[in-house]
Structure formats: structure tokens, C-alpha cells
Amino acid sequence: MTPDQARHAIEEAVARVAPDADLAGLAPDADLRDGLELDSLDFLRFVEILTERTGRQITEDDYPHLATLASAVKFLAAG
């Protein structure tokens, strides 16, 4: 997966979980959960959608890699 594909998958997942969230206005190193006001259930749904979209199993141990937009893109692109 390229970084562009990873970013698109993240944007798609955010749009499904928090349709009113402004991902474009979020700095690449800002905390996704805080910046998008995702609660625990929203974040779990976000992870589920990323798993469906990418075909990559994302475990709880991987959650720190999804902390920011930049780290999430890097994690998914490395997969």
C-alpha cells in the first residue's frame, strides 16, 4: 500500500466513523482521537474499517501506530 492509498483509507474510515470531523484541518502530528473527538467505540470502529479496507489485521498492540495521521499513514504503508 502506498502512502497515498493509506491516507485515502484513513480518510474513508474517519468519514464513516465521524462524518462531521475535519481531517483536513488536523495537523499530521496531532492526536487523531483528540483532534477528531473520537471516543473509544469510535476508535474501535475506525480500526475495524481500516482492517476491512486494507485487509491488514490491526491488533491492540498496533494502536499506538494509529495515534496520529502521519504515524497511521506510515504504519499502513509499511504493511
User: pLDDT tens digits for 35-61?
Assistant: 999 999 999 999 999 999 999 999 999
Quickly list DSSP for 14-51. Answer: HHHH-TT--STTS-TTSBHHHHTT--HHHHHHHHHHHH
Q: Is the pLDDT of residue 79 over 80?
A: no
Comparing 17 with 23, the larger pLDDT belongs to: 17
pLDDT at residue 22, as a whole number: 86
What is the rounded average pLDDT for all residues in the chain? 94
What phi-psi label fits residue 40: left (phi over 0), alpha (psi between -120 and 50 degrees) or beta?
Answer: alpha
- Select 3-78's CATH number: 3.90.1280.20, 3.10.28.10, 1.25.40.10, 1.10.1200.10: 1.10.1200.10
pLDDT at residue 21, as a whole number: 87
DSSP, collapsed to helix, strand or coil, labels residue 8 as: helix
Q: Is the pLDDT of residue 73 over 80?
A: yes
Domain ranges of the chain: 3-78
